[in-house]
Amino acid sequence: MRPESLTFLQTYLNNPSPTGFEKEGQKLWLEYLKPYIDEYFVDTYGTVVGVINPDAKYKVVIEAHADEISYFVNYITKEGYLYLRRNGGSDPLVAPSKRVNIFGEKGIVKGIFGWPAIHVRKVEQDKAPTIETVFLDCGASSADEVAEMGIHVGSVVTFEDEFTVLNDKFYVGRALDNRVGGFMIAEVARMLKENNKKLPFGLYIVNAVQEEIGLRGAEMVAHRINPDVAIITDVTHDSQSPMYEKKTAGDISCGKGPVITYGPAVQNNLRDLIIDTAKASDIPFQRAAATRATGTDTDAFAYSGSGVASALISLPLKYMHTTVETVHKDDVESVTRLIYETLLRIEDGHDFRYFK
């Protein structure tokens, strides 16, 4: 990876972008993307779209989502402790002893998830932490002191953990789900520009908001763009570490390439074009099956308007929705390259219908 690309990835991942509050991360992403696009727009809720060939009638989307799971302050005790509610699929089980950033009216306030010491608990009666039992300590001794710090009900909370590299093979951090996707589609735009590739269609590079609470940003922007084709990238579960059941989770491994999904929302001809591209380009890939829905922005695009030919290229990831989400360097490169090579195979007016 280029040093400049790695620097951007690290900066982008370390910047908090909780669901509904993605603005600062979106600004970073757009500044990186600007040299490689013709124009851009930002919608009402913060989805950012870079456009190449904006006057073209036929429109192709490549998309990722920008938001990360987080918490809201929900209740402040008279002693100054904070209780929370989830913003997206946050997991209280991983919270105790973690450091956090609390976004208050006066700026970021540092806090910690407290937890009673093992010495004072009846360990044999321990239960898993829940959203009702985890709490934040921001160093205050009263509700008034909390208010003086600028913290109020509705303040957003994110974990403090930052980017690192594991064994020179893996990228580790919070919010790789799915800002690493935003990184990859931005890299595709860069590669197109630097390799002087002229596409016969309009390309819309979409970094959508609010995926973690129901694909909402994708729903909005799909109606606005009204594309003909959408290639979505998101993360999926590596199932090799302990406690996974391959019979239900599938047999997916970090380091073995992009994951191409089968499911009702995935347009078969577009999916097969991606598979053919992977084979022709010697890009290793894996396969996965969805149930009724992929659970990603693929569903929002596929069923928008009169129907959009959509497909999902996933990045295998360990430990989803924790502070140590982990992806393999090679897979990041391979997903990026697969999207890039697939775009070069799509024709102007490409008709993906099953029959005519």
119 labelled as ligand-binding?
A: no
Residue 177 marked ligand-binding: yes
Instruction: Using alpha carbons, list the distances in angstroms from residue 274 to 156, 232, 303.
Output: 39, 12, 20
126: annotated binding-site residue?
no
- Is residue 211 part of the annotated active site? The answer reads yes
Query: Under a CB-based contact definition with an 8 Å cutoff, are residues 325 and 315 in contact?
Result: no
Query: Is 137 annotated among the ligand-binding residues?
Result: no
The catalytically annotated residue of 22, 63, 68, 211 is 211
Burial pattern 217-250, b for ≥16 Cβ within 10 A else e, equals bbbbbbeebebbbbbbbbbbbbbbeeebeeeeeb
Residue 276 in tokens: 């053919």
- Of 231, 162, 144, 201, nearest in space to 14 by CA: 162
Cα separation, 113 vs 93, whole angstroms: 11
Q: Are strands 259-262 and 309-317 parallel, antiparallel or unpaired?
A: antiparallel
Question: Is position 212 annotated in a ligand binding site?
Answer: yes
Could you tell me which residues are beta bridge partners of residue 261? Answer: 288
Q: Return the closest-CA partner of residue 237 out of 332, 174, 148, 315.
A: 315
Contact call for residues 187 and 333 (beta carbons, < 8 A): no
- Please give the backbone phi and psi of residue 331, each rounded to the nearest 5 degrees, phi first: -65, -40
Annotated binding site for Zn(2+): 65, 177, 212, 234, 321
Annotated binding site: 65, 177, 212, 234, 321
Catalytic residue positions, numbered: 211
